[in-house]
Structure 1
Amino acid sequence: MSCPILAALVYNEQAYPDDILKEVVDRCRARGFRLAGVVQHRSREAGHRCDMLLEDLATGQQSSIFAGRGRGAKGCQLDQDAMLQVVSQIEQALKGNPKLLILNKFGKVEAEGAGMRDLIAKAAWMGIPAIVGVPVCNLHAWREFAGELSAELHDSRDVEGWLVRTVSGTPLEKAAMMDPPP
């Protein structure tokens, strides 16, 4: 049986998988793999909870998808135009046949059928593996969306195993994706 082409990196809302996803990015870039997608970088300013930047993995460009609501705002408001721009950039990157699509979050917008959801489906249709951060609160929606095309990963070890089975094609690529023994 082949390995599912999609991977949900499942997390609870208090433990975003940013470090794991950044490790995947670093490992793939070190091997010269072309990537598509986004990872998030949190603001370093106290009280700016929604000041998060998304890094486009194909270009390195960083942008925000949240409307500026000021210091100490209680909630985040998605900037629909900014989100559409990011989706468009990722769609362009998919045309370059990347080795892997990485998306930081299958959020509320995706759970409701919009956002980056079509990008995930398009990548799977194109045969491009995708790893996506999925909060527990959206896991049911992810399962309904991805079905048998998805594996559920919970930590770095799971991610490494999925990468070796899915992203690495040749035996040499498989060996390169694994950490050397201690």
Structure 2
Amino acid sequence: MLAGIAFHPKDPIDDLLAAIAGTSLANGKSVAGYVQKRRKDADCGTLVHVRNLRSGDEMPITRNRGKMAKGCKLDGDALSSLAQQLSRDVEAGSDILIIARFGRSEAEGRGLRDVISRALDLEIPVLVGVRDEYNDAWNDFHGGFADALAFDETAIENWLSKEPADMAAV
């Protein structure tokens, strides 16, 4: 009921996951989760926004630290707000939870780990994008429980079409 999709920084993971969400919604499924969108910023290059897959609401997840900064920084308050939103969505009932990134916060024991765990407690299948640099932390987190899926829409759709009891057999 848990699967990681390995990807590299230039791979269009958010497009892939948005397509999966769209297909699930078109098939009458209830989807919780988020994908990221990047927007150019004059000061720090790129700001990252997240789009809630249930509500469609967007919010910035990084902060502009000013013209002299070397890049933008993850906004801990925004990440906490996202976790609260996703927790409510999971508790309201979902057929799938999509987490676009298992990133630094999750690797350090924070972030959306509790949302993932709660979804699993509720027997909601969870798809997680896992960038290569966080693969070891991802493996530590799931302890061999997660399936590894190819960066391929058909493979992911096939995994989602399995009954929850069969998902571990991928």
For the residues of structure 1 that align with 2:11 and 2:68, how far apart are their CA atoms? 21
Gaps of 5+ in 2: none
Percent identity of the aligned residues? 32
Residue equivalent to 2:11: 15
| From 133, 151, 160, the counterpart of 1:163 | 160
1:57-105 C-alpha deviation (Å, 9 max, x unpaired): 1211100111122468532311111111111010000111100000110
Establish whether residue 59 from structure 1 lines up as the match of residue 65 from structure 2. Answer: no
Maintained 8 Å contact 2:44/2:71: no
Bigger fraction of residues in strand: 2
1:93-133 C-alpha deviation (Å, 9 max, x unpaired): 01111000001100011011000011111111110000011
For the residues of structure 1 that align with 2:27 and 2:43, how far apart are their CA atoms? 38
Residue equivalent to 2:110: 114
Residue equivalent to 1:179: none
Maintained 8 Å contact 1:108/1:138: yes
For the residues of structure 1 that align with 2:117 and 2:76, how far apart are their CA atoms? 20
1:20-71 C-alpha deviation (Å, 9 max, x unpaired): 1011011011112111111112215677543121011121110011112246
Gaps of 5+ in 1: 170-182
Q: Match of 1:148, SS?
A: coil
Q: Match of 2:62, SS?
A: coil
Comparing 149-158 with 85-94, which one deviates more in the overlay? 149-158
Residue equivalent to 1:147: 143
Tell me which stretches of 4 or more aligned residues in structure 1 moved more than 3 Å: 44-50, 70-73
Change (3 A) 1:161 1:50: same
Maintained 8 Å contact 2:94/2:124: yes
For the residues of structure 1 that align with 2:42 and 2:11, how far apart are their CA atoms? 18
Q: Match of 2:157, SS?
A: helix
Counterparts in 2 of 1:26-105, with a 5 A limit?
26-43=22-39, 49-70=45-66, 73-105=69-101
Residue 144 of structure 1, CA deviation: 1.1
Maintained 8 Å contact 1:49/1:73: no
AA matched with 1:80:
G
Maintained 8 Å contact 2:43/2:64: no
Normalising by structure 1, we get a TM-score of 0.82
Aligned-CA RMSD value: 2.1
Change (3 A) 1:149 1:8: same
